[in-house]
Chains A and B, each alone.
Chain A
């Protein structure tokens, strides 16, 4: 999983090293769901995504992707929003345990 994480985050400037095992949006397979924990993005970019419904607490389902796997469509709140992997990697997911407790 750490290897996977390293590949996904390749080339994207992380502000803080992610705790090991933390999942982000690209870890979801098609049809997989998760709840957003936080957005590791500069304020302006984060605002833009949050206004579209991608904000902490929102449940996201991974949808279809472009040929080659990138970008991918994410379903949130009845909308379909396509994100590149480099962007989606900054959207961290709640750990499944915390998610179940919700």
Chain B
């Protein structure tokens, strides 16, 4: 934000400056809840992607907008900010991009500054520092439809005169008034010269004076949002509020399990069928095995979670866009604060019960980086659905079903519930540990803006789902594919007479034998060792691996496999295995997504080592204790 950078800015240069050049680059910036992303989605549609920069965890999207034939512009969607004082990571990222100091991104040629026309005098405070940077800017006053219906008015001409920049009144959600934005992107709007005193830049009180003054002259504030007040009366009601909150959580949780199930079954069937088709087309048996058992089954075991993940994000999207998520965070905050976390950690942790991968992605709503990392680190301890087949198999094999509380609760259900509670307690203890040590917060105050309630638009929900599906599929197509091929190689090599060897003679068995001394203290033999290695791809893979090791096609309900397990494990070592799975991070997908979200290998490695050690220690203790009793 120094003067030097401003001197070199192309303020006076006309937009299309004669010689042919690359697509011009625009940055969209504005305060949170100004509808910035709605405008970005409206302009770019599907032609956008999430951009990642080294060391930057703030989500940033870059998209293309077609302006005319053979003519397009690049648009960068910057994080929502209130000022450019480099206080938060969001603000630092925005500032670095706007001043051209973000590696891998060109300095934007111009800025589209989005403000909510319903909160104009407050949002103008964010405008001053951006305009003062001296980049050519279009000031977009968004949500014009809401301003009209709430009886507010804005004098666009007067505002433009005072700001020294073109001003457009639009509604991005409805696509109203967008022509002015397109004109600006094509360089057809007169630019004016910003009249912002640079002294305003970091002086928030003066900035506010300026904004209030300007707001008074050019803006008539709308009536307070009646519906928001009414709905808050309901959602934040001392008694009804928490009940509705619980209802919402249960509904989300249930539908992730129930509604996703048929879709997952259908997807699984389709994957099995296509796998067979492809395998039949393969000439060589080894190649057939690689494709069918390695690639198809491995990637398939991850792909089946796609419906669940998309469903979760659909709910998250609706909750966030409608404004309810902020209320939910408010309600959950007090409880979460007890373990050193905050309200916004609640929803990601709940979704980790389905799968840690979307949970980690969902932590993006947490601005405080330390809270976000703490939430990411504990999310694999929530009992995800991939553990269910493992738990079911072992519990069914070792625990006879007896009623505990009459017909309500049997021994097996109680054991399952116990494992859920165990994971939850470990998560709380870990959060407390983290927040009192490595992730001790610098006491950043918990600040949460409550946006007015709004209808989510189909367009942004759709784009959100496409975006999340792309991230997930890209991951399944790269790191998970590689790992599953590797695991297949371990289980299916070395070839004997061009065929897959019995698994007892495979590399996996050799590795299992090598691992045996380490896991022997837990009561596990080499077969469990092979299962543990294979379950790194996805936890439930251990079920099919154990099946293969015992020479059977197996699922968790198979009585033969249960019998085989009873020969292999003592009750004490079965308990140790359950406890190991409750804590261990047996999931390459989660590691991959944590690496992506934290911008490096540091946190996923710490997480992996911590959780494996925790799992090992707890399983060891359980094995020793249980050996005394059982």
Residue of B nearest to A48 (CB): B87
- Shortest Cβ distance from residue A25 to the other chain B in the assembled complex, whole angstroms: 12
Instruction: Give the CA-CA distance A70 to B238 in the complex, in Å.
Output: 12
Query: When A48-B88, A66-B330, A67-B242 are in contact, do A81 and B208 touch as well, CB less than 8 Å?
Result: no
For the complex, count residues of B whose C-beta is within 8 A of A: 37
Contact A78 B331 (CB under 8 A): no
Interchain CB contact under 8 A, A50 and B205 = yes
Residue among A51, A57, A64, A77 facing the most chain B CB atoms (10 A cut-off):
A51
Contact A53 B208 (CB under 8 A): yes
Mostly, the B contact residues are: helix
Map CB proximity to A onto B50-88 as digits: 1 under 8 Å, 0 otherwise. 000000000000000000000000000000001101011
| Complex contacts, B122 vs chain A, CB 8 Å | 53, 77-79
The answer to whether the Cβ of B236 comes within 8 Å of any Cβ in the partner chain is: yes
Per-position 1/0 for A37-64, Cβ under 8 A of B: 0000100110111111101111000011
In the complex, B333 has a CB within 8 A of chain A: yes
Give Cα A64 to B241, complex, Å.
11
B171 → chain A, closest Cβ, in Å?
Answer: 19
Q: Which residues of A contact B233 (CB under 8 A)?
A: 64
A83 at interface by CB-CB < 8 Å: yes
B46 located at the interface, meaning its Cβ lies under 8 Å from any Cβ of chain A in the complex: no
Q: Which residue of B lies closest to A75 (CB)?
A: B224
Q: How far is the CA of A71 from the CA of B449 in the complex (A)?
A: 12
In the assembly, what is the distance between CA of A45 and CA of B334, in Å? 20
A13 to B83, CA, bound (A): 27
> Is B204 interfacial (CB 8 A cutoff)?
yes
Q: Does B89 contact A (CB under 8 A)?
A: no
Q: Does B560 contact A (CB under 8 A)?
A: no
Task: Tell me whether B448 and A45 are in contact (CB under 8 A).
Answer: no
Q: List chain A residues, Cβ under 8 A from B85.
A: 47, 51
Q: Are B449 and A52 in contact, CB atoms less than 8 angstroms apart?
A: yes
Judging by beta carbons under 8 Å apart, are A87 and B125 in contact? no
Tell me the complex Cα distance, A83–B356, Å: 29
Q: Are A84 and B333 in contact (CB under 8 A)?
A: yes
Which listed residue (B118, B121, B443, B450) contacts A81, Cβ 8 A?
B450
CB distance from A51 to the nearest CB of B (A): 4
- Measured in the bound complex, the distance between the Cα atoms of B242 and A71 in whole Å is 14
Among the listed A52, A55, A56, A78, which residue makes an inter-chain contact with B447, where contact means beta carbons less than 8 Å apart? A52
Residue B337 at the A interface, CB < 8 A?
yes
Q: Which residues of B contact A58 (CB under 8 A)?
A: 208
Question: With an 8 A cutoff between CB atoms, is A28 at the interface?
Answer: no
Taking a contact as CB atoms under 8 Å apart, the answer to whether B450 and A80 are in contact is yes
Please, could you name 6 A-B residue pairs with CB atoms under 8 Å apart, sorted by A?
Answer: A45-B443, A45-B444, A49-B445, A71-B334, A82-B447, A84-B337
Q: What is the interface of chain A, defined by CB distance below 8 A to chain B?
A: 13, 41, 44-45, 47-53, 55-58, 63-68, 70-71, 73, 77-84, 86-87
